[in-house]
Every structure is written in structure tokens, then in C-alpha cells.
Structure 1
Amino acid sequence: MDRKSKEEDGQEDAAAASDPLVTPNLEESILKNRMEQFKAELKTEYEYSYRSIRPIPFLEKQYPVQRLFLDGGVEYLSKDQTKHQHRWQKLDSYKDIFNKNVMEDNRWIIEGEPGSGKSFLTLQLTYEWCANDEESCLCDVDILIVVKMRQLSGVSSIYEAIKCFVLSKDSNFSIDDIEEILSEAETSLVIVLDGIDEYPHHSLSNHFMNIIKKIILPKCKLIVTTRSGKIPQECVDWTNLVRLTGFSTETQEMYVREVLTSGNDDETLNVIKEWLPSTSILYEFYQIPLIFVTYAHLSHETESELLHFTSMTSFFSHVISSFYSHFDNKMECAYMDSGFVTSEKHNQEFNRLSFQGLQLQSESPQWKKDLLIKEIGESFIETFISIGILREEERISNQTEEPLSNSEVIKIIKFYHNLYCDWFAAHYLADVIAKVDDPDIKSDGDEGLEILEDLDPFTFQYLYRFACGLNPACAKHILDYLSHVECGDVFVMLCLLEQRGKVDGIKDNLREICSRTLQMRNQDTRVIQRSVLQLINIAAREKNVEQLWFEQNGHEMTDIELDGILSFVAKCKKLKKVRFNYSMLPVGFHRRALLTLLTENNVEVLWYPSEVWYRLNLNSGTWEHKIDNTDLTEEDYNRVVSSFRDINV
């Protein structure tokens, strides 16, 4: 439909609305037509976002989102446990987000670490709605609104956001029209606020917070995505909480099969699979979807180089170098000079700006393009955009109450992903800290080390780990700092692994940390949980772990969960005891081959559902009483279950 036709339709709608002779049926028909036109415009614009995606920036080949998207790990916070404690439970699929009976409210917060796939999930949901997918959780939704919160500087409402950043620039729908349509469709409306932690304004009284609080559009379904640890705390008690947990081994294999090998190249799949377990330091890192996808595509091209990676720093250094080389090759094929060689001064300035961006703007630094050009030059910026390290976006500059039509559109530069920012900021941090010991530089050492207090290691763990891997002189100061931070022992070990690359030479440190109680609790962040798991995994391989305790208050463990834990235990040759505290375990365990391995290793499996405890009989696979070694009968087990649930109601 051309602009003239749209305008004529708009005039007819207005005339019909004011004509007293217009019948209710005709008015309803006009509203329906307007709604359908609005939906059609949304779908046209959404198609551009999900149909052509590059898994990593330098790839020439593009994919539709439905080809790339895989259903990774998803959990929800169960609120039907004790009054004081909730626990995370696994969802079978992201498609169950709206279907769980325990999720009674119509507000959802989806959290995840950087690179966990929050925005990618949003793209998949967008595709499913546009394609009228009958299996989608959005199959009965009339209107889906998706807005990227990082774009909304100077935008005061969801209606303005749709007008500026969702609909096409030549759309005839006004802000008032959009407000009316959303109000009309409210009960069958889903709004996605993608990346609320990147929203430029954080006042709790703003329009978007009022949507979350159900002051505005209370009947619609709302999904808010945010990075872990950035959830508005006042919303937790009455909002459904969901989190993305990354790629399991099965999901990783599926990605390689469906995207890289088209399902028929087992040799490539096996090569990639056999490398993953051999790099224990990187194992948890590869569970981040963004990192695994990068790893998988790079290994498909330069497999021999990936065999030598023993740390996150070495891997990420190769990633950045690959971006550079692919850009150079692309320009060479076009018979053009890449112009990539930049001065050391420009590189250092970019590193400094990256670090200061994290200091001033938290995890998602951004700059006005014209101001950044003055700092480091246009050639540098355009090259990094072409490489895929930086990206350019348009924003509304209006910070006043002036009409939206008077607003200026400005260009913003930000990183393609926050991990890239951590990488360049780590170079600056490493240089600054390393100079503390330089006798030729006159400075107060303590003053130089104060920079470490600016960024929380639990929020910026990759920044600290990269810095340790880049510069050993910097690492010793970071390690000393982290050793005085609460729960910093885990990060000390991981930073040591970055510095040395391999576990050789740091076994004493590993043994010292593991000799103390190493806890992983439900309330810990995913960063801490994964770090503890990684540390246990490394320690177990080095035979430094003799006992494991699992304490999960109120948790009812499944057969699959118990199988996974005991499979890990069987691989740890020195581990002699595993103990489960204050959780409910299955009635027995009967995988004979695994029980045989546990018997050969003389492993003792103990269960403490309360003060009374039981031992797993490795011959029969049943639980037995601690005193007389008699089997726990079905009646006894049911009493334990009943008592456990009474305590944890």
C-alpha cells in the first residue's frame, strides 16, 4: 500500500469515527481493519531483524533465526516451596514459559549472563509470532511488541518507542493511534522489553517501570530481559523469574549438526566434541552460547590452532585475531587496502575508553559517534565496525518534553558484545596495574591499585581474568586484591589458571583452596555457581578432592540429576565420599555399571534428608539405615518423603 492510499484510509477512518450514522458493526470493522494493518506493518519490520543473522560478525553466510536457534537450558524460580526459600527448577523448553501453573502472574523477567541468548530468544519468539507457529507460546497472541531498551534514550513511553523504533519511518500510525490499538488489544498483547539493564534512565517512576508494575497496560503479558544481577529488586516478589543457563553438551552437539554440518558430517562433529572435554579450564566458558558458537565456527575453519588453547585469554585472543585476519582477507579480495594498521596511541586510547565506559556506564558502554571520532579517529571506528567488534545504532537525542517530531536522531557506537568490551578494557587495566612496580614511574603504588575498587569482580569476572592472562606483573596484584574479597577464593584460582594456562605449577594453590569448605548455594549467582563447578572439576581431575557435599535445602532431586552427579563422582579416582544434605533423593539408584565403578573406587554415598541419615548400598542400589544396615522399606521411604515435605512447605 502506498503512502497516498494509507492517508486516504486514515481520513476515511476519522470520518467514520465522527459520523453519527456509522453503525457499531461498521465501526468494529474499521477497528479490525486498522488492527490488521498495524499487525501487518509490525511483521514486515520484524522480518528484517530475524531473517538474516550472522552467528559471528565476519561470516559471509547469513541464516534465519529459526535455523540457528536451539532450545538451551531454561529454569524458573519456584515459589511453592517454603515461605523463606525458593528454588530454581528446570523447564523442559522456553515454550513452557507461559504454561507453568506456578507462574500465575502476567509479568516475566528473563535473566541470563552476557552471551546466554536473551536477545536471541526474543528474535525466535518474534519469528514464531510472525509465522503463526501453532506450537509457540505466542500462538494465541494478537499483537507482539518488541523494543530494545538500549535505544530509548529520550523516549518517554512505549507508544513513542513503537513509533520511533518498531514501525517503519513512513508509517501513518500516530502515537495516539498506537496507544489506542494497544489498549484495545490489551488482553491479547505481549510486550517484550529487551535488555532493561541497558535502559538509559533508571528512575523507578518512569513509564516503563509502570508497565512492569501493572500501572500501565495491566492486562497484557510482559517479558523483560536483563543480565543476571540486574533485576529491579522491588519486582521480584510478584514477577515470574526465568533464567537461561546456557548450552548443555547435547545442545552443543545439536548446533554443530544442524548449522555447521547440515546433519551429515559426523567427522566434524566428533572432532569438535573430542576437544571440549580436553580443555577443562574452558569447559564452563563454552557453555555460554555466544562463546560456543564462536568456538564451533572457528574450529570448523582453523581446527589445528584451537588444540592449543588452555585458557580463556588464549582463546579470546585467537577470536579477535581471527576477526582482524578475516577483515584483511575480505579487503584483499576486493583489491582494497584494509587500512587496519592503527597507531599504538589509538589502540591505547581505545582501551582506556573501554575501561572508563565500564566505570561510568556499567556493563554496556556507548558513545556518540561524532564525539568518539574526535577521540580516536573515524578510520579506527569504521574499521572496528566492519570487523564486527563495534556496531552503530540510531537513537533519539530528545531529552526534553518537546514534541517527538522535533527530536534529533543521533548515531551511537557500542560493542558488538560486552565480552569484547571486557577484552579491550582488560588491556588498559593490565597496563595500569603493571606500572605500579615500575621504578621509572613515580607514583603512589596504593593509588594505582585503587583502580581495582572501581569494578566489582563478580560483575566483571572476565575483565579480571583477561587482565591476569595478559600480564603476569598485573596478575599478582589482582590475585592479592581478590584474596581479600568475600568469596574471592574461587576467582583467585580461575585467575591463576588464566595466568599460567595449565594446572601444572598451581597444584599447591588448588589444594589449599579445596582444603577449605567450598560451597555452592541456591542463592549464589550463576557466575559463582559455574566458577565453583569449574574449580571442582579441575581439582577432581588433579585428584585433589576427597569429599563432596551437596546441600540444597528443600530440593527434590530427580533420577537424572542423581545419575549425573554419581557419574561425575565415579570419574574422580581419589574421591571417597559424597554426601547429600537436606534434599530429597530418589527411592534408589539401579544403574548397575555405575554402581560397580563406585564400588571399585570404594566411594561412600550418604544421604541426610534431616538429622537421620542413610547410606546407599552399592550392591543393591537401595538406601539402608545407618545403624543396622537394613534396607529402607517403601513404607519408611514414604514417611521420609512426607516428613521432608512437611518441613519444606
Structure 2
Amino acid sequence: MFCVLFAHVANDQRGVIEFSSVTSFFKYVIDCFYSHMWRKDHKEPIHQSIREYSKLNRLAFDGLTGNAQMIAWPKHTFIDTVGKDCYEELSYIGILIAEKTNEIINEPEEYDIHHIKQNELVRFYHKLFAEWYAARYLSSYAGSFWPFWLKYNLNKINPVDLQFVFRFACGLNKKASRRIIKYLKSVEGGASFASLCLFEQPDNPEEVVESVKGLCSDGMIIRSSDSRLLQRSNIQLLEIASRKKIEVPCLQFDHSFKAAQQNEVTLESGLSLPVLLSIEKLVFTTQAEHEISQENMLGVVKYGQRCLQLKTLAFHGKFVLPLSLTVETLTSNMNSRNITVFWQLLEYVFQLDVSSGKWRLSSMESLTSGIVEPKEDIEMLRSVCSGDMTLRRTDSRLLQRVKIQLLEIASRHRVDWFHSTIIT
């Protein structure tokens, strides 16, 4: 939608036009609509100004935040509410559209013989325009009203569905921006949307840094379910944190990891993260079986070495990792400093022994604390081996992998299983 609008309204511009935020871009689009109108009317744009329609702003806000979203109204109701001048101007520009609809009536004696009533509706050309005017209402009140008013009204806005109401409002009013970002950070799942709003006020680097500190203080999660826009925004936050040496205790890739090389991590969405210098822990999670090749695993290790504050790498869920890594390649890439690498597989936790390239049995406590155990816990290994071990063809791949891993560790330490069987 943005691209089509820009191509339409800016086709007579020369050179490259740069925008620092979504708000500045959409404001430019609105300005172009008015500029085209004034040219048609043979008026000089320099002597004109865009009128503020406060009643339209309120109508759009109430329409979007009601129980059922509304961006269309009966024509007579719309004109009575916002005024004829507003209706005519925005219809002439193309922001508003009038449509006729037919409604079947059950009381034929009150209407014509066809039992049909014709209605005329006025609607915004696109929901984005409704969000723009709703944001103008929100920005004016969020910057001046008491917090209880703000919280009551923000609770009515779903950030997933109406993110541009938040973003436009933040771009239009700096004071409103601070309050909205603070609110988003306080609600469950709102921190990610706060990061989108943050970049709508690009003129105050000190405030941006303080906001990044707040957003990154509890760590960051990049999910596969996040839009590319949201992922890109979070990557920007992490890059700022890296440049400004803002500590990020944990970065989690939730079903979003695809591959890693020495200088970047690639997401399933195609986006990439550069080396991040202020991350302490890197966690990969998945609930769908995900095999990582030896080459890709070494890429993760190399990337971790470049992240200078990184202490721990952890894989949770249904990752299928190599049973061992090439010692020469591993030691050559981890000779500068040691990073603890954990692999949680089903109910077991394994820790990578860098000196041998093999996994050793660890504990859930080690995974939680990130503390490196100097050697294998033989007593814990004997406890695991005291039960039966049966390898079945019908076992899931993950279950087979964990059993093979345990057998290999037991064999390495000459610990016998109480009873082991292979069933084909």
C-alpha cells in the first residue's frame, strides 16, 4: 500500500527522497494529495495550509477502537458529525469515497415495490487513512491528558491490528510518544511494538539510547511469527545496543533461526543479524524438529566468538545437533575465549566439551546458571544408566538421537547399562 501510494503521489519528483520514519513518509503522502488538489484548482501551495479536522480525528478513533471496527458511516451521519467542508475536501482529494448500497426491507408498504432501500455510505479509501486521523486524535490527547485517560483509551487499541495508530501518534507528538512507549512496555507482548514506535521520534539520540536500555534490559526475543517489519525493528534495537555498549542479557531466536556464518545469523524470514557486541547469552528454541549440520553448528560457534560479551550458547526444544564436532575446527575457532554450549534434548542436558568436540551429560542447574562443569558427573551418568535402554525403529528421531548420545557417553566412560536392547 505504501509503495503504491508513493509511486502515485511522487512520480514527478526528481532524485531520491529519504524518510526517517513511517510518520514522516505518510505525512509526505498527505501533503502530496493536497498539493495535487491545489494545483488542479490553480492555487499556489505556499499560500495554503492543511486544515485540522478534530471532529474527523475523533470519529476515526472511536470507529477503530469500538467493539466492531468501523471505517464507513452513513453519508448524512458522517457530514453531520464532521461538517460538509471536511467531507467535500477529503472526497475531492480521494481520501474519502462515497458508495451506494442496497438493503432488502421486510416492510414493503413503506418503500417501493422492489422492497429495496438504497443507502449511501462514506468510507476511507484505505484503513491506513483512518489510522492516520485516529492517531492525530490520540497524539493530541496522549500528550496532555492524565495517565488514567491514556491507559483507558490505549487498552482499547490492539497493537497487532492497529500498530499504525500507535506509530503515527508517536511520530506526531514527542510527549505522547514517551507515554505510549511506557504503556506498551508495561503490557504483555507490548515491548516489541514499543520498539516500532521508538523509531518514529528519530531526532533525540539520547532518548533513543535510554529507550533501548529499557527495551533490552530483560533480553530480546525474535519470533518466527513476528512480521519482517517487527523483526527488522528489533534488529535495529540490537544494533544500537551493540554500538552503545548496552548490555543485552539474552537474545532468543524462537523458531526463527535458519543459518549462521562468522559475521551474521540469518533468520527464516531472510533478514540477517550482524555481530552483536553486548549480548551475554544466545538461545535457540524450536518445537518443530530442526536439524543443524556440522557446518551450520560451527557457523554458530564462529558467530558467538565474534560477539565479545557472549558467555553462553543454548539450544532448546527439538534441535538435532551433530553427535560430535571436528576438534581441529572447533579449537581453532574457540581459542580466544571459552563459550559454554548447552544442548537440551528431551529431559536431558548436554554440554559441549571443546577439547574433544564431544557432548557430555550435564544438569538442568548448569543450563540455568550457565556455569561450566569441569568434568562429567559420573554419578549422574550411572543413575541414568541404571534403567533399561531400548532402541526401537518406531522411536522418534529425537528419541533415537538422545539414546545414541547417552550410549556414546556411557561407552566413553566405561559405564555399563543395566539392560540395553536393540529392536529392529
CA contact (8 A) 1:558 1:586 kept: no
* Counterpart position of 2:352: 626
For structure 1, the residue ranges without an aligned partner over 5 or more in a row are 1-289, 438-444
Relative to its length, the structure with more strand (as a share) is 2
Whole-angstrom CA distance in 1 between matches of 2:12 and 2:354: 61
1:291 aligns with 2:19: no
Q: Is residue 483–residue 492 contact of structure 1 (8 Å, CA) maintained in 2?
A: yes
Equivalent residue, structure 1, for 2:230: 531
CA deviation map 1:18-62 (0-9, x unaligned)? xxxxxxxxxxxxxxxxxxxxxxxxxxxxxxxxxxxxxxxxxxxxx
1:389-446 per-residue CA deviation (whole Å, 9 max, x = no partner) reads: 1122221233547699321222211111111111111111222333426xxxxxxx74
Letter in 1 for 2:86: F
Q: Counterparts of 1:452 and 1:312 in 2: how far apart (Å)?
A: 20
Equivalent residue letter for 1:496? L
**Does the 8 Å CA contact 1:548/1:578 hold for their aligned counterparts?**
yes
SS at match of 1:394: strand
More helix by share: 1
Count residues with an aligned counterpart.
335
Give the alignment of 1:154-553 within 5 angstroms: 290-295=1-6, 301-302=12-13, 306-307=17-18, 309-332=19-42, 344=52, 347-360=53-66, 362-398=68-104, 400=106, 405-436=114-145, 446-447=148-149, 450-501=152-203, 503-521=205-223, 526=226, 530-531=229-230, 533-543=232-242, 544=246, 545=248, 547-552=250-255
Partner of 2:189, secondary structure, is: coil
Hey, what's the Cα distance between the residues in 2 that align with 1:588 and 1:313?
45
In structure 2, the CA distance between the partners of 1:579 and 1:639, relative to structure 1 (3 Å rule), is farther
CA distance in 2, matches of 1:578, 1:618: 22
Q: Is the 8 A contact 1:351 1:425 kept in 2?
A: yes
Alpha-carbon distance in 1 for matches of 2:17, 2:164: 20
Q: Could you say if the C-alpha distance between residues 531 and 502 of structure 1 is closer, same or farther in structure 2, counting changes exceeding 3 Å? A: farther
Secondary structure in structure 1 of the residue aligned to 2:207:
coil
Q: Is the 8 A contact 2:318 2:398 kept in 1?
A: no
1:511–1:645 CA distance, 2 compared to 1 (3 A): farther
Q: Structure 2 unaligned segments of length 5 or more: list them.
A: 334-340, 344-350, 360-392, 403-424
**What residue in structure 2 maps to residue 589 of structure 1?**
295
Q: Write the distance in 1 (CA, Å) between the matches of 2:168 and 2:185.
A: 17
Contact kept, 8 Å, 2:23 with 2:171, in 1: the verdict is yes
1:324 and 1:626 map into 2 onto residues whose CA distance is: 64
Per the alignment, do residues 416 and 581 of structure 1 end up closer, same or farther by CA in structure 2, a change over 3 Å counting?
same
Cα displacement (A) at 1:643: 1.6
Name the aligned partner's letter for residue 81 of structure 2.
Answer: E
- Provide closer, same or farther for how the CA distance between residues 343 and 383 of structure 1 changes in structure 2, counting only shifts above 3 A: closer
Output the amino acid matched with 1:538.
L
Shift of 1:327: 2.3
Change (3 A) 1:400 1:591: same
What is the TM-score of this pair, normalised by structure 2?
0.62
Q: What amino acid sits opposite 1:457 in the alignment?
A: P
Secondary structure at 2:188 match in 1: coil
CA distance in structure 2 between the aligned counterparts of 1:546 and 1:324, rounded to whole angstroms:
48
Using a 3 Å threshold, how does the CA distance of structure 1 residues 401 and 587 change in structure 2: closer, same or farther?
farther
Q: Once the two structures are superposed, what CA deviation does each residue of 1:538-591 show, in whole Å capped at 9, x if it has no partner?
A: 222440447532233xx9x76699962498344434457543234513323369
CA contact (8 A) 1:430 1:468 kept: yes
CA distance in 1: counterparts of 2:176 and 2:97, whole angstroms: 30
Query: Which of residues 276, 285, 291 in structure 2 aligns to 1:572?
Result: 276
Give identity over the alignment, percent. Answer: 23
- Do the aligned residues in 1 keep the contact of 2:72 with 2:124 (CA within 8 Å)? yes
Give the residue type in structure 1 aligned to 2:78: L
1:537/1:611 CA distance change after superposition, 3 Å:
same
Give secondary structure in 2 for the equivalent of 1:516.
coil
Residues in 2 aligned to 1:460 and 1:359: alpha-carbon distance in whole angstroms: 9
Task: Verify the 8 A CA contact 1:518 1:532 in the aligned structure 2.
Answer: no
Inter-CA distance 644–584: structure 2 relative to 1 (3 Å threshold): farther
1:272-295: CA deviations, max 9, x gaps? xxxxxxxxxxxxxxxxxx123434
